[in-house]
Amino acid sequence: MNPRITDLQLPARSEKLKGRVALILGAGTSAPGVSIGKASSIAMACAGASVAALDFNLAAAQEVAQDIESTGAKAIAYRADVSNFDEMQSAIKRVMEDFGRIDIMQINAGIGRVGGPAETTLEDWDRIQKVNVESILIAAKLVAPIMVKQGSGSIIGVSSVAGMRYLGYPHLAYSVTKAAVTHFIKMLAQQYAGDGIRANTIVPGLIDTPRIQKNVAKVFDANADMDNTRRARDRQVPMGRMGTPWEIASVATFLASDDASYITGTEIVVDGGLTGKFV
Ligand SMILES: NC(=O)c1ccc[n+]([C@@H]2O[C@H](COP(=O)([O-])OP(=O)(O)OC[C@H]3O[C@@H](n4cnc5c(N)ncnc54)[C@H](O)[C@@H]3O)[C@@H](O)[C@H]2O)c1
């Protein structure tokens, strides 16, 4: 059975992140439904964390914070553009005033535009670089010193299989930035390993989130019909289906927890076998 997520599916409760504060950058959803940031925020709250849900769409972050609070956990929404240093600096300052610490940071916001060199404008290229890569520099500048002072922390980057392979259609700027995410996080891991900070990247495959309607549906169906798009994406995957955002969220929760205490500087591919196949 295809476990298509149409509603909130709360993960099992645990205390693996009890007492920790998780900052999720891009915690909202770009259209109604469940995104990777939303599922990760809720999953970490179900594991005992308090959540600082940051997004440039404040209403989307507030919706996530409300969902979390309805489970009994603490959550606060913040508005900031992850590519804007000043906005991020003031948001992180408020997170520290509200929570006093940051134990987990998932750098999740990501954008893209389908196209190769001919279709990619220099403006698109710059914007995608800024949101997908410069945001990591900004987040690390602001949050790594806090984690160093604490003597602990877990940083989680969100890349894509597009950063490893050509997906069958040009998604150039997105793919190049997603390759950079993995390498950036590896560099952070090495630099901060002695400070008790772990840094790892999740590499999702084809995941069924609302953004595929906005971003890539036209590649799979000329009319961007979502049923056809879903069927076409499902067919590409050896497991016969796209992943759910909850299947990424559970890996994020694992990487954030002490279960991953000796894992740093690496990536976990979560793709239903996609990158292992020949055609
Ligand atoms: N859905 C997939 O198939 C898939 C596959 C691989 C990787 N990913 C990656 O997972 C991450 C989340 O993807 P999703 O599908 O859940 O997307 P989504 O678009 O539903 O969620 C992304 C969230 O980030 C926010 N955001 C975007 N730009 C921002 C900015 N400049 N500042 C602050 N917030 C910003 C959006 O408002 C949105 O709430 C992205 O990095 C994406 O590249 C997704």
User: Is 255 within 8 Å of 268 (Cβ atoms)?
Assistant: yes
- Judged against a pLDDT cut of 50, whether residue 20 lies above it is answered with yes
Hey, whose CA ends up nearest to atom 28 of ligand 1?
109
Q: Which pLDDT value is given to residue 5?
A: 36
**Cα 171–Cα 133–Cα 257 angle in degrees, nearest 5:** 105
pLDDT given at position 213: 79
Domains identified in the chain and CATH numbers: 21-208+245-268 (3.40.50.720)
* Helix ranges, the chain (H): 36-46, 58-69, 85-99, 122-129, 135-150, 172-192, 211-215, 217-220, 226-236, 245-256
Nearest CA to ligand 1 atom 2: 207
Contact present, 37 and 106 (Cβ < 8 Å): yes
How much of the chain, in percent, has pLDDT values that exceed 90? 88
Q: Which structure tokens are listed for 138? A: 């900004």
Q: Report pLDDT for 211.
A: 87
Q: How many CB atoms within 10 Å of residue 263?
A: 15
The DSSP symbol for 156 reads E
Distance (Å, whole) CA 256 – CA 271: 20
**69 C-alpha to center of ligand 1: Å?**
22
> CA 83, 30, 213, 164 torsion: positive or negative?
positive
In the residue annotation, 262 being an active-site residue is answered as no
Q: Whose structure tokens read 């504060």?
A: 21
Per-residue model confidence as pLDDT tens digits over 172-231? 999 999 999 999 999 999 999 999 999 999 999 999 999 887 778 888 888 889 999 999
Which of 111, 182, 230, 246 has most ligand 1 atoms within 8 Å of CB, for mutation? 111
pLDDT band at 8 (very low <50, low <70, confident <90, very high): low
Instruction: Note the pLDDT of residue 262.
Output: 98
Average the pLDDT over 255-279 and give the result: 96
Instruction: Convert the pLDDT of each residue in 42-59 to its tens digit.
Output: 999 999 999 999 999 999
For helices 122-129 and 172-192, the axis angle rounded to 10 degrees is 30
From the CB of residue 90, how many other CB atoms can be counted at a distance below 10 Å?
A: 13
Which atom of ligand 1 is least distant from the CA of 162? 6
Average pLDDT of the residues in 241-268: 98
pLDDT digits (tens, 9 = 90+) for 59-111: 999 999 999 999 899 999 999 999 999 999 999 999 999 999 999 999 999 99
How many Cα atoms occupy the beta-carbon half-sphere of 176 within 13 Å?
16
**Average confidence score pLDDT of the chain:** 95
Which residue is catalytic, options 78, 166, 169, 174?
174
226 Cα–ligand 1 center, Å: 18
Q: Residue 9's pLDDT band (boundaries 50, 70, 90)?
A: confident
- Which residues surround ligand 1 with Cβ inside 6 Å? 26, 28-30, 35-37, 55-57, 60, 81-83, 108-111, 131, 158, 160, 204, 206-207, 209-212
82 Cα–ligand 1 center, Å: 12
Q: What is the pLDDT of residues 107-129, one digit of tens each?
A: 999 999 999 999 999 999 999 99
What order do you get walking across the sheet with 267-270 strand by strand? 75-79, 50-55, 21-25, 104-107, 153-158, 197-204, 267-270
